[in-house]
Amino acid sequence: MKARILAFGLLLAGVSLAGAIGYAYSPVTVIAKTATGAIGGNECVGTVITNAGAGGAIILTLPIAAAGLYCTFSTVNAQQVTVNPNGSQQLMQANIATLAAGDAVQSAASAGSSLTVVAVDSTNWVITSQTGTWTDVN
């Protein structure tokens, strides 16, 4: 048990013991969005979506929610990224007050913000983590 705790602690500190303890690496797909548009369901399967190369603010619309879809948005350029649910679907999180059905969230115009969303059913996207400032814009 002590070895597992030690290994876990080292992993949290940024030291990888993956090869030594038998974990396999699985690369994450990173997609750069440079313009406003829709995210396809096939782009929301554990991917990281950035605004790398965007010359200005962009609005990205989530696909129709289906339980298990998830993706992370990351601001690489110092431009606003707006994440919009599809139609009247809903983004939910306790830290952002009064998110009504159809409301979007928007990052600050700075690099380094991130937002992870997970579809929990056919209507709702839950914000499971965020860094930086994201605000309700509808």
CB crowding 112-128: b at 16 or more within 10 Å, else e: ebbbbbbbbeebbbbbe
Which residue from 39, 47, 31, 97 is spatially nearest to 65, judged by alpha carbons? Answer: 39
Give me the mean pLDDT over the 6-20 stretch: 41
Report pLDDT for 118.
Answer: 94
| pLDDT range class, residue 95, cuts 50, 70, 90 | low
Lowest mean pLDDT among 3-12, 24-33, 89-98, 104-113: 3-12
Domain boundaries, the chain: 26-136
Report pLDDT for 27.
Answer: 84
Q: Check residue 40 and report its DSSP letter.
A: P
Query: Exposed, middle or buried by CB within 10 Å (0-12, 13-18, 19+), for 50?
Result: buried
Report pLDDT for 2.
Answer: 34
The fraction of the chain above a pLDDT of 70, given in percent, is: 79
The whole model's pTM is what? Answer: 0.78
Is pLDDT above 80 for 77? Answer: yes
Sequential DSSP letters for 51-80: -TT-SS-EEEEPPPP-TT-EEEEE--SSS-
Give me the mean pLDDT over the 34-53 stretch: 95
State how far the alpha carbon of 63 is from the alpha carbons of 13, 33, 87, 115, 119, in Å: 35, 15, 10, 16, 10
Q: Which fold has domain 26-136?
A: Jelly Rolls (2.60.120)
